[in-house]
């Protein structure tokens, strides 16, 4: 059976900007901008996608809703969001957003090819890290100062411009790391243990859906199946997820299933029955009811409205 890709992999910053409809980046190794300067034609919703570079999104206002496979999060004052190569993500916006978008690749961040990988140096750039942190006013002011320095440098024409931008980017990441490390250290041991279990859970859920798409599994994802993969009791796993995120493990899996279904409908020409099959549903009517319950639209209507 030929597998039709349903989740775009945006391999360059230019492709990412094009998908967002926000113009042309300064380059495919480094780009930044104020979010409020993005054109009105920009997308207000991005379905599931993956990138092949790093991003740090500083949002100083409410209005961004991240629909990640591992959590649903709405921005508040001074939110910092992290993305890294291969991360699965989706988001929407509900009002004018203020903040900063910084995108860059590994080579720009580290001119020396022998340098340590970014995900080892900066813990927020890997699957085990927190996707989002909240900043105090003091922390936000510190980062804004560096970001504004970067924006000034972006518009310079000096020969050493790239060197200065690289220096300022590394300064920005070091400042974030100090803030991030302090917030992690303040978590009680039990919360750290639960976070580790949660990370294992979401990693297995993500892999299960990859396997489903590749035809390696036939059964719909469930708490019991994932609990078996992480060697935990289903009830205990559900309690950990509920206490940590406020949603049950079952609800998490349902949200992930819905995101996958939307991506299939938007990015493939597969028939509804085939999409249902690839998500583990053995009854297309049940899939239709599941989808409508979660979106208030039938799969067919949803597809038509996003074509």
Q: Do residues 24 and 231 touch, judged by C-beta distance below 8 A?
A: no
pLDDT number for residue 33: 95
pLDDT number for residue 73: 59
pLDDT tens readout for residues 91-123: 888 888 999 999 999 889 875 544 567 888 898
Closest by alpha carbon to 122, among 163, 166, 164, 170?
A: 170
Q: Hunting for tokens 């034609």 — which residue is that?
A: 41
Of the CA atoms within 13 Å of residue 232, those in its CB half-sphere come to 20
Beta strands 45-51; 9-10: pairing state: parallel
Beta strands 54-59; 79-83: pairing state: antiparallel
Q: Which residues of the chain have pLDDT under 50?
A: 1-2, 70, 113-114
pLDDT number for residue 113: 47
SS3 of 111-168: CCCCCCCHHHHCHHHCCCCCCEEECCHHHHHHHHHHHHHHHHHHCCCCCCHHHHHHHH
pLDDT number for residue 281: 92
pLDDT tens readout for residues 184-235: 776 656 566 677 788 888 888 888 888 888 888 888 999 999 999 888 888 8
Q: Which residues contact 26 (CB under 8 A, 6 or more apart)?
A: 32, 154
Q: In what order do the strands lie in the sheet with 54-59?
A: 30-34, 99-104, 54-59, 79-83, 132-134
Report the chain's terminal Cα–Cα distance, integer Å: 25
CA 168 → CA 24, 53, 194, distances in Å? 22, 18, 35
What is the reported pTM? 0.74
Q: At what angle do helices 284-295 and 249-267 cross, to 10 degrees?
A: 100
Q: Which residues contact 223 (CB under 8 A, 6 or more apart)?
A: 234, 237, 238, 249, 250, 253
Domains and CATH numbers, the chain: 9-185 (2.60.120.280), 189-305 (1.10.10.60)
Tokens of 251: 């609800």
């Amino acid at each position: 059976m030929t597998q039709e890709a349903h989740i775009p992999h945006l391999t360059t910053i230019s492709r990412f900007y094009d998908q967002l409809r926000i113009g042309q980046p300064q380059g495919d190794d480094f780009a930044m901008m104020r979010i409020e300067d993005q054109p009105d034609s920009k997308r207000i919703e991005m379905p599931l996608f993956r990138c092949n570079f790093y991003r740090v999104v500083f949002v100083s206002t409410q209005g961004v809703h991240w629909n990640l496979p591992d959590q649903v999060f709405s921005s508040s004052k001074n939110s910092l969001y992290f993305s890294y190569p291969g991360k699965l993500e989706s988001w929407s916006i509900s009002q004018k957003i203020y903040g900063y978008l910084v995108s860059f690749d590994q080579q720009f961040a580290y001119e020396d090819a022998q340098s340590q990988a970014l995900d080892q140096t900066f813990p927020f750039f890997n699957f085990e890290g927190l996707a989002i942190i909240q900043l105090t006013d003091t922390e936000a002011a510190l980062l804004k100062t560096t970001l504004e320095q970067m924006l000034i440098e972006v518009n310079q024409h000096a020969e050493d411009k790239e060197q200065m931008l690289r220096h300022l980017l590394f300064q920005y990441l070091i400042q974030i790391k100090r803030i991030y490390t302090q917030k992690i250290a303040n978590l009680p041991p039990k919360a750290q243990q639960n976070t580790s279990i949660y990370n294992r859970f979401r990693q297995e859920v993500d892999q299960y859906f990859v396997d489903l798409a590749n035809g390696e599994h036939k059964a719909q994802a469930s708490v019991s199946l994932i609990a078996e993969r992480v060697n935990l009791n289903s009830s205990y796993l559900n309690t950990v997820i509920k206490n940590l995120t406020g949603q049950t493990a079952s609800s998490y899996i349902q949200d992930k299933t819905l995101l996958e279904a939307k991506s299939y409908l938007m990015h493939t020409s597969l028939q509804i029955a085939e999409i249902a099959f690839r998500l583990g549903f053995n009854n297309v009517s049940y899939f239709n009811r599941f989808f409508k319950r979660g979106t208030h639209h039938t799969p067919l209507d949803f597809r038509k409205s996003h074509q």
